[in-house]
Amino acid sequence: MTTSTAGRPGRGRPPRGVVYQRFAAAIDELADYGGLPRPVEAKQLWDDLWHLEAHHSTAIEGNTLVLREVEQLLQEGRAVGAKDLKDYMEVLGYAEASRWIYEQAVDPGQWQHDGLVNLTEVRRIHALVMSKVWEVAPHSDAYPSESPGNFREHDIRPFAGGMTPPTHPIVPSETAGWVDRVNRLKADLASGAGIDSVPERLAALHVEFERVHPFIDGNGRTGRLLLNLILIRLGWPPAVILKEQRRRYLKALDSADHGDLAPLAEVIARSVIDNLHRLIPDIADPAKYVPLEALADEEFSLGALRQAASRGRLEAIFGPDGRYRSSRAAVDAYKASKYERRG
């Protein structure tokens, strides 16, 4: 039985402040489950995230591979379809960089350090992202010294929204300053800064990297990977910006560049929450209460579970954050009772 149905969630999108509160609550909840599952413990879930990220982040930049083609390319090493070689190499390079970032949650190895990111890692990620595609489609205006992993030596024209990247001689110092601001986030959290302020801090860091535009090409992909490196090293799920969100994401980046961080912060917060729900099933005890989003499957959708909870047929509680929570054991009992009624 549900312990309470008062204040059930209404229709429409929640206010931005509520999204930030849910982000903070999700991070707190993650600690209750013992943190993120290691890839070796939840390989399929991490692989699914890996495939999604490689597909969507490259698609935002115009890559034409569909998710099925990305999955086969990464799982089987086999190119299917008749797309340009450049598209396959873009996905392979991005996937290699993404996998390296996910490994940081488990075994940093030689990359172990006290901060969230350093300048060498910024350049390494860009090299991983761009090296494979550079072999078949290098940037037409690049100097040899601007190859993957090296800062640009060109000035960039102002973008359509009015943003002008800094002149190239100061790119190394601007990027080093960005790294310092990233690492300040970790120090602030350690000293008690509220987690509900983090989405806008992340949005500021993301748009600042894109504003510096340290490389001649691949800055969008590298920036999204660096955002996920920050999240992973904080012990949090990565953010995967879906290609369907491309227009909203680009508009949010433009708003952030003009001083309004909230739209981009909401995009990031929602993505982290969604990916937490993908990962929770493998880290929570069967009797542990988790958001319904983490319990939905092909047999019972989120809507069906919400309806069952609201009618008292699924043992659940309704929390102050506007979400129902139940357990894997309760959902299994609900499924068994459905089969009994059908019988």
Shared-domain flag, residues 224 and 325: no
Shared-domain flag, residues 203 and 342: no
Contact 300, 331 (CB under 8 A): yes
Q: At how many degrees (to 10) do helices 85-103 and 119-136 cross? A: 160
- DSSP state letter for 318: E
Q: How many domains does the chain have?
A: 2
Nearest to 205 by CA among 183, 236, 233, 172: 183
Shared-domain flag, residues 183 and 296: no
Nearest to 290 by CA among 266, 268, 311, 309: 309
Contacts of 13 (CB under 8 A, 6+ apart): none
Shared-domain flag, residues 263 and 305: no
Contacts of 302 (CB under 8 A, 6+ apart): 292, 293, 296
Nearest to 234 by CA among 265, 190, 281: 190
- Reading the chain (343 residues) residue by residue, the pLDDT tens digits are 333 333 344 445 678 888 899 899 888 878 877 777 776 666 777 888 889 999 999 999 999 999 999 999 998 888 887 899 999 999 999 999 999 998 887 678 888 888 999 999 999 999 999 999 999 999 999 999 999 999 999 999 888 877 889 999 999 999 999 999 999 999 999 998 889 899 999 999 999 999 999 999 999 999 999 999 999 999 898 999 999 999 999 999 999 999 999 999 999 999 998 888 777 766 666 767 777 877 887 788 888 999 999 999 999 888 766 778 888 888 889 888 876 665 5
Distance CA 240, CA 186 (A): 21
Shared-domain flag, residues 305 and 277: no
Shared-domain flag, residues 75 and 8: no
Shared-domain flag, residues 315 and 273: no
Burial of 29 (0-12, 13-18, 19+ CB in 10 A): buried
- What residues make up the domain containing 7? 1-32+286-343
Nearest to 321 by CA among 4, 9, 11, 3: 9
